[in-house]
Amino acid sequence: MLSLKLPQLLQVHQVFWEDGIMSGYRRPTSSALDCVLSSFQMTNETVNIWTHFLPTWYFLWRLLALAGGPGFRAEPYHWPLLVFMLPACLYPFASCCAHTFSSMSPRARHICYFLDYGALSLYSLGCAFPYAAYSMPASWLHGRLHQFFVPAAALNSFLCTGLSCYSRFLELESPGLSKVLRTAAFAYPFLFDNLPLFYRLGLCWGRGHSCGQEALSTSHGYHLFCALLTGFLFASHLPERLAPGRFDYIGHSHQLFHICAVLGTHFQLEAVLADMGSRRAWLATQEPALGLAGTVATLVLAVAGNLLIIAAFTASLLRAPSTCPLLQGGPLEGGTQAKQQ
């Protein structure tokens, strides 16, 4: 009879470690099968895997439910929403795969997260399409910012992927700079994408129900709150920094970060649907900002550009000698031991 043995877990002194996470590490030279099996074993990555694997299917279900509606795909008004839903399904799946297979080797770990960052960058671009189509303030419609909003978001996705991938090369020598670059790489596209919402929020602040089509739904507020909480968790490494070893398996910041990110995407979808419905009659009197040809061209160029950036960083990683500190996946040595002490 075929029997499968669950992989052995390692302690903090046996591997490169995350702040405040003391145990539950997988062997950094695991096989692909061991990686898959580890998702059914309690490790410090198990909750990370499942908190993005399950939401992948939820967003895919929402996508199929929306796309299967009568006449939904045939109507150009709905296309920006469908474009948003594609990377909303992709990014949690890419994250799930990265957390699952990142322990195959040091090189595999970095490449997995390169792809994870690329998916997040495409998600930031995907957010720009419905915001440009449904959420623009009236005074911005057909202005310069509106016209270049989606192309600028595509350029932002290149910056996001490039900076976040580059930050991995600085993790050992300059961990603080690495964290700053990676945080900035994702904070900037978020701030840019949400400029229409921030402007509408400023217009409606204190005006109650007299805001007309500029009013934000409750879902917008929930989305922005979840995004703020997501950024805080990513940057702070709380609560595990306050009690190292206490939250190794359940409750550490990256797990909470995943949950807040998924909740934020859910509320963002609901907010987009609210804007689509409440502003449709008004938007019908306006000319569309980006047609099908422009949408497809922007998406194709963005995907190709991000894949080229990832390929460039991957090639650089593959050319690096195995003695490079970035590729040491075994027990801590040298400077990292000093850090532990």
Residue 202's Cβ-count burial label (10 Å; 0-12, 13-18, 19+) is exposed
The sign one gets for the Cα dihedral 116, 122, 125, 127 is: negative
Q: Which amino acid is at 337?
A: Q
Is 266 annotated in a binding site? The answer is no
**Contact indicator for 23, 248 with CB cutoff of 8 Å:** yes
Is 99 annotated in a binding site? The answer is yes
Q: Please report where in the chains the tokens 């195995």 appear, as a residue.
A: 322
- For residue 22 the two structure tokens come to 């003391």
Q: What is the 3-state secondary structure (H, E, C) of 133-182?
A: HHCCCHHHCCCHHHHHHHHHHHHHHHHHHHHHHHHHCCCCCCHHHHHHHH
Which residues carry a binding-site annotation for Zn(2+)?
Answer: 99, 254, 258
Which residues carry a binding-site annotation?
Answer: 99, 254, 258
